[in-house]
Amino acid sequence: MAKRGKITILKMKASTIFIKWNFMRVLQFILGSIVLIQALIERDFLFGVGGLLFILMAIFNLGCCNNACYIPTKKNKTPQDDVIYEEVV
């Protein structure tokens, strides 16, 4: 049973990596690649970590850049009553 669970997790991760690519995710991957390449050319460790972070966030669809951590709000199907205000003198 444990092997079956691992296969399901691997399929889920593979589907996250290979599908649902949108413009922002591609842009994040390209910019992260540019930063990583520039960091390798300049031999700058800090920019290399930043570029790698952007690339990994794009590959695994992490972060709030493209609403990956978006929590859908619950729609209220009952109509709201109008609020009645009183004038305070």
Per-domain boundaries in the chain: 2-59
> What does pTM read for this prediction?
0.57
What lies within 8 Å, CB to CB, of 58 at 6+ separation is 25, 26, 28, 29, 32
| Span 7-17, pLDDT tens digits | 565 565 666 67
Residue 29 in contact with residue 52, Cβ under 8 Å? no
| Span 17-74, pLDDT tens digits | 777 778 888 898 999 999 999 999 999 999 999 999 999 888 877 776 555 555 566 6
